[in-house]
């Protein structure tokens, strides 16, 4: 009988003791592995969604909430800001601003957020159009890869938005259909889960959709509202053949920022479309503004403080707020990590007690093995192998628990935040965890193994 087979027979001779040691060891390994998986994927999501954004401007409130809602799209917006208040940052001649991307939030479709923005958002996330083209007109939508897949959207699909960020048939904006004109390639960032459209589409739905204004869009005075209608009615659209049946009246062209749209499809035939800047609508509102600086200077470093102290808006630096979030999460993660180490230590103690106590019942057996030619080194190796077998089995069971648990959590995370997590990956850190598990098994078995090697043959046989 081989040494491995003999060690296995010895372990299964006391199944309850073996099961206890396995469960404890698997819980420790599983918890540590789960933390590895969760941390790696959360860090990747945070890093990808930073997208080179240096500053986010929005309504007064929690700066962390502003960052989470505007960049990670996992929180409610803090409110709205008038376009006229952010005009200096939308100025194409501003030497300190490389790119300014507006966001209008507050609506969704079947739980997926609809974002009124400019096509420059694609440049921030380095996103490319996979099918169709980017939005260039009112009520056109460019769908993220994940949103399109989950919602079953294709080029030409139409849908109606819902008020707020929850799915409720009573909050649907009737009479205004969004039309999908393009689908993005997967990026792994939050943009995969968004439905992108022009800011004017969001304004149009809330001003004429029968639901009133969005949570982040302030209701205007009646006389100004009528003046806007007159202005829009008098605007001549570049394409007279365009079908406006989806809207209640003609409106101006799609709103863009100071940067040109580099992501429209090359085969787009509407070359005569005049794309105006949202600065032509100073009395409208947006939820936030994403800024990318044109280098670092004293002015850009002091911009956040200047906005927070001298305006009715707030500015937040993504790197600072995410670091703060990490520090808050780190306390809980450290506690769980130490708990996992304690569980692994207890499991190692359990293995030691199990092997040590079994030696009393196996002394006669070990003595017989010595008389039959087994060397002291072979007895030592057999006991150590039992400890290593327990640690390897506990490690494998722990990985099964951690990866299975991650898959279950992934479903909940996707339903709640539209982020994709998975347990179907194997990390390098888990190899280090295997080395640690083997070390625990070896240390737990080494003292019993030494005792087995030093077995007194004559005395043990004499005692029977």
Instruction: Kindly report, residue by residue over 413-434, the tens digit of the pLDDT.
Output: 888 888 889 999 999 999 999 9
DSSP annotation string for 290-335: EEEESS--HHHHHHHHHHHHHSSEEEE-HHHHHHHHHHHHHHHHHH
Among 74-83, 221-230, 293-302, the least confident range: 221-230
How confident is the model at residue 60, as a pLDDT? Answer: 96
Average pLDDT over residues 285-305: 94
Measure the CA–CA gap between 371 and 454, rounded to whole angstroms.
14
- Residue 1: predicted pLDDT: 56
Q: What number is the average pLDDT over the span 213-219?
A: 39
pLDDT for 216: 43
Residue-level pLDDT at 400: 97
Give residue-wise pLDDT tens across range 139-189. 999 999 999 999 999 999 999 999 887 777 777 777 789 999 999 999 989
Average pLDDT over residues 271-283: 70
Residue-wise pLDDT for 260-274, tens only, equals: 343 333 334 334 344
Give the pLDDT mean for 95-118: 94
The overall average pLDDT reported for the chain is 83
pLDDT of residue 218: 39
Q: Is the pLDDT of residue 225 over 90?
A: no
b/e per residue 181-213 (b: at least 16 CB within 10 A): bbbbeebbbbbbbbbbbbbbbbbbbbbbbebeb
If you average pLDDT over each of 43-52, 95-104, 230-239, 262-271, which comes out highest?
Answer: 95-104
pLDDT at residue 244 in the model: 36
Smallest Cα–Cα separation from 106: which of 287, 289, 316, 290?
287
Q: How far is Cα 253 from Cα 278, in angstroms, rounded to an integer?
A: 10
pLDDT per residue over 375-403, tens digit each? 999 999 999 999 999 999 999 999 999 99
């Amino acid at each position: 009988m081989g040494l491995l087979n003999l060690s296995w027979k010895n372990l299964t001779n006391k199944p309850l003791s073996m099961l206890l040691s396995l469960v404890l060891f698997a819980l420790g390994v599983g918890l540590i592995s789960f933390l590895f998986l969760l941390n790696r994927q959360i860090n990747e999501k945070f890093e990808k969604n930073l997208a080179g954004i240096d500053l986010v401007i929005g309504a007064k409130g929690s700066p962390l909430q502003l960052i989470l809602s505007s960049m990670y799209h996992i929180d409610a917006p803090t409110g709205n800001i008038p376009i006229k208040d952010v005009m200096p940052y939308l100025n194409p001649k501003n030497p300190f601003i490389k790119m300014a991307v507006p966001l209008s939030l507050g609506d969704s479709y079947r739980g997926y957020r609809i974002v009124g923005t400019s096509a420059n958002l694609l440049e921030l996330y380095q996103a490319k159009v996979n099918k169709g083209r980017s939005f260039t007109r009112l009520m056109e939508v460019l769908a993220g890869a994940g949103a399109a897949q989950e919602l079953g959207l294709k080029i030409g699909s139409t849908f109606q938005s819902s008020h707020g960020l929850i799915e409720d048939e009573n909050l649907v904006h009737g009479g205004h259909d969004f039309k999908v004109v393009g689908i993005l390639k997967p990026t792994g960032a939050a943009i995969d889960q968004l439905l992108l459209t022009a800011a004017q589409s969001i304004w149009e739905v809330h001003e004429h959709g029968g639901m009133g204004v969005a949570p982040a869009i302030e209701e205007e005075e009646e006389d100004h509202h009528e003046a806007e209608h007159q202005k829009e009615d008098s605007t001549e659209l570049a394409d007279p053949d365009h079908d406006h049946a989806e809207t209640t009246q003609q409106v101006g062209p799609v709103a863009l920022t100071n940067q040109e749209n580099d992501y429209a499809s090359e085969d787009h035939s509407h070359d005569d479309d005049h794309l105006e800047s949202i600065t032509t609508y100073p009395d409208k509102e947006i939820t936030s503004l994403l800024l990318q600086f044109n280098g670092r200077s004293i002015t850009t470093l002091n911009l956040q403080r200047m906005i927070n102290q001298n305006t009715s808006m707030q500015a937040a630096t993504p790197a600072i707020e995410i670091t703060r979030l990490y520090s808050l999460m780190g306390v809980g993660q450290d506690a769980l990590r130490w708990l996992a180490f304690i569980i692994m230590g207890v499991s190692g103690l359990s293995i030691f007690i199990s092997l040590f106590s079994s030696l009393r019942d196996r002394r006669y057996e070990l003595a017989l093995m010595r008389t039959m030619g087994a060397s002291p080194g072979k007895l030592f190796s057999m006991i150590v192998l039992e400890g290593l077998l327990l640690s390897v089995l506990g490690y494998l069971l722990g990985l099964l628990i951690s990866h299975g648990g991650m898959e279950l959590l992934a479903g909940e995370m996707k339903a709640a935040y539209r982020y994709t997590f998975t347990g179907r990956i194997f990390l390098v850190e888990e190899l280090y965890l295997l080395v640690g598990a083997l070390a625990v098994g070896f240390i737990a078995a080494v003292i019993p193994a030494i005792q087995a090697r030093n077995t007194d043959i004559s005395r043990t046989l004499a005692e029977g």
